[in-house]
Chain A
Amino acid sequence: MKRLSRGFYGLAAAVFLAGLLGGCGGGGGGGSSSGGQQFVVAYSQSNNAEPYRAQLNIQLQHFVKKYPDLKLLPIADAHQDSATQVSQVQNLIAQKPSVLIVSPNEPAPLTAAVQQACSAKIPVIILDRSVNTDCYTSFIGGDNVLIGKRAGELAVKLLPSGGNVVELRGILSDQPQIDRDQGFRDAIAANPNIKIVANREGKWLKENATPIMQQWLAQYPKIDLVYGHNDPMALGAYLAAKAANRDKEMKFIGIDGLAIPDGGIRAVQLGELAGTFIYPTCAQQAADSAEKIVHHQPVSKKQVLGTTEVTPQNAAQLYQQYDFSKQQ
């Protein structure tokens, strides 16, 4: 019920805003620099249906609200389709926002759309994935190689005398998969006794990870650590190991660390994962940068965010810090 009414208000706000913008259109040239001082922020999301991106949306709404002079248009969801996103970005450009934030679905198709925004003199903030042009104001993203490295360092710490590692990979052609794999392998090279005995593509999905892990459990009598490229895959493997009563003889490491009831931070709290690493949503930095841009303050062209290791000690506190479902 709460959700329904929220959606209704969103719709009402959208209609109202559309009317407002339509009215301003005649007045010419953006028309937002008068006494009221409301700066419109538009956001194009590549896919609402990924938990990480759903979290990003919630956080962005939360942080934009902290600046009373910023107004976020309803988030445009491209449903993981680049062509859809291009036309959505063009629609947003037509509404002449003060700042345009884009989470590109793919670099190449979105490049032209970002250039269009640029030539319309709209400042653009790119989140998480790159575009093939320099014509934007700021890029904000996480560092997957670094996160993979930190996960590898945790593996080295957990397996001082070496051991057998199995690796559940994301979709093989995804850049985060390539980076998370690379960083991990670089870090575990520190201990030559740590071996990756098997790795397979789990396509980021929990339901794929479980049967793969069941097959590994049947083949390998000794598995010491499971490295999942995201928390759902690590947890899917955990389910399989628990079913075979072997969950106590191995450690599980994930990535993403979402503060949702079904996410990685909770799993660390429950002792299912030995650790996970927060992949930053960039929402807070995006809101801060938008505020700076509208007030003509400088922002750095490239903002690469670090990660936070979630341990059993800090999990409860981190969950509270990143849980935005109750803070709206």
Chain B
Amino acid sequence: MSRRSVPGQTPAATTERDGDGRRPLEPVVAPPRTWRERGGRVLSLLGSLQGYIGLVLVVVAGVLTKGDVFWNQQNLTNAVGAFSSRGILAVGETLVILAAGIDLSVGSILGIGSMTAALLLTRWHLAPWEIVPLCMAVGLFFGFCNGAGVAWLRVQSFVMTLASLTIVRGLDRQSSDNVSVGTQVVDANGQLAPFSAAFQGLGTPGHNILTGLPLPIFGRTGVYYPVVAFLVVCVMFQLVLSKTRFGRHVYAVGGNETAARLSGVNVTAVKIAVFSLSGMLAGFAGPIDAAYSASADPLAGTSYELDAIAAAVIGGASLAGGRGSIIGTLVGALILTLLDNVLGLNAVSDNLQLIVKGLIVVVAVVLQRPGLLISLGNFGREFTRRRTR
């Protein structure tokens, strides 16, 4: 039931019992009086902010090396936009990981979602608001199949989703005849067809939605749909996890399945639900991916599941289940994409980038570990307490 690794949530504020059965320390309420107490407060604050440290380091590195070229709205939108579809996969992946499962099929489901979008667009000229729900339904179907296999047939989630990874990819390739499908359909005069132009709003670079509306920060230039969709999905699912009974059940199933079952949680339903939601989100990300490249490639989304798992893990999710949060995954996704951006802007060689990215994953996970900086925080609190006694 632990939510210790939710960044921004002070461990001291968590009053319920955590997963290891240890009772968190009592909150310190006395106002600081001496510099030693203040020092203790700073240390414990650092402990609670540890989830953001990796992100802050990457941003600082970007600002120090590239300044305005890095820190401007356009570059940040580009960087986050390039990762949005994988970020949405990571949200679904986090749900599954929280319930102590793993979903390897999200990349393939994104692929078939993107192909579905392109085929619906080019063959039936559907509008974006018709395409997106249909793609979500396709993803939901495959996600449900995963969940049914895991919960009813009792296939381990790694095996079940590994199988659907290849099955769904096969269907994707079959439906496209192995040829990529472009989404920019032009008429005889070389003009973009209206249905094709509407589809660009789903994420073709340089095409914003809600243009003309006076929006905070963005003004009247509109917003870039992939970024907004990613952030909205993050907020929605964070609320579901932290505010609803279903959310608590997900943590319960991941923390201790037997205990959850004995306390009346419908474990089967929770498992099917998390895989279905993960599939649905992958289907939702499909049209974004298709619009981003202005085409649906039969191989689109290959190995995206690894990026999604990396984002969740960097964000503090434990593959053992029961620990992690969507906000953490958001931070993990931002670290991955901004790191790529900073390395790219600094023209770091491709081979060195691979090494650096791998190292950062390890460093970020170690930084995330409750106990590294929290122990620092605990030390700070102990330190304060001993002095005031």
Residues in chain A within 8 A of chain B (CB atoms): 3, 48-51, 53-55, 172, 198, 200-201, 205-207, 210-212, 214-215, 218-219, 232, 235-236, 239-240, 242-245, 260-262, 266, 270
Contacts and interface: CB of A to CB of B under 8 A. Distances in A.
Contact of A236 (B66, B78, B293): B293
Interface of B: 66, 69, 74-75, 78-79, 82, 173, 177-182, 186, 190, 204-207, 289, 292-295, 297-300, 340-341, 344-345, 347, 350-351
B82 A262 contact: no
Nearest to A240: B205
Nearest to B344: A215
Contacts of A261: 181-182
Contacts of A215: 75, 78, 341, 344-345
B165 to A, nearest CB: 13
B345 A218 contact: yes
B173 A48 contact: yes
Contacts of A49: 173, 178, 298-299
B295 A244 contact: no
A199 B231 CA distance: 32
Nearest to A272: B184
A242 B78 CA distance: 13
Contacts of B297: 205-207, 232
B16 to A, nearest CB: 42
Given A200-B344, A239-B204, A262-B182, A207 B292 contact: yes
B292 A260 contact: no
B294 A51 contact: no
A215 B78 CA distance: 8
Contact of B294 (A211, A212, A239): A239
Given A3-B177, A218-B345, A219-B345, A239 B293 contact: yes
Contacts of A55: 179
Contacts of A53: 178
A210 B344 contact: no
B205 A243 contact: yes
B78 A211 contact: yes
Contacts of A260: 179-180
Q: Secondary structure at chain A's binding surface: helix, strand, loop or mixed?
A: helix
Contact of B293 (A48, A200, A210): A210
B208 to A, nearest CB: 10
Contact of A232 (B180, B207, B347, B351): B180
A281 B371 CA distance: 59
Given A48-B173, A232-B180, A211 B295 contact: no
Nearest to A216: B344
Given A49-B178, A200-B344, A270-B186, A214 B298 contact: no
Task: Name which of B177, B181, B204 has the most chain A CB atoms within 10 A of its CB.
Answer: B177
Contacts, number: 92
B182 A206 contact: no
A262 B292 contact: no
Given A51-B178, A200-B350, A214-B82, A243 B293 contact: no
Contacts of A210: 82, 205, 292-293
A49 B170 CA distance: 10
A219 B292 contact: no
11 contacts: A49-B298, A50-B178, A51-B178, A53-B178, A54-B177, A205-B297, A207-B300, A210-B82, A215-B341, A240-B205, A262-B181
A262 B179 contact: yes
Contacts of A218: 69, 74-75, 78, 345
B180 A51 contact: yes
Contact of B206 (A205, A207, A211, A244): A244
A49 B173 CA distance: 7
B179 A51 contact: yes
B336 to A, nearest CB: 12
B352 to A, nearest CB: 12
Given A207-B297, A211-B79, A262 B173 contact: no
Given A49-B173, A262-B181, 16 more contacts: A3-B177, A54-B179, A172-B351, A200-B344, A200-B350, A207-B300, A210-B82, A211-B78, A218-B345, A219-B66, A239-B293, A242-B205, A243-B204, A243-B206, A261-B181, A270-B190
B179 A239 contact: no
B1 to A, nearest CB: 39
Nearest to A3: B177
A236 B300 CA distance: 14
Contacts of A245: 206
Nearest to B78: A214
Given A239-B205, A239-B293, A270-B190, A211 B180 contact: no
Given A218-B74, A243-B205, A207 B180 contact: no
A262 B119 CA distance: 13
Contacts of A239: 204-206, 293-294
A201 to B, nearest CB: 4
* The 6 nearest A-B residue pairs measured at CB: A243-B206, A262-B182, A243-B205, A54-B178, A211-B82, A201-B350
Nearest to A271: B190
B295 A206 contact: yes
Contacts of A54: 177-179
A52 to B, nearest CB: 10
Contacts of B190: 270
B146 to A, nearest CB: 22
A262 B69 contact: no
Given A54-B179, A218-B74, A219-B69, A262 B205 contact: no
Contacts of B298: 49
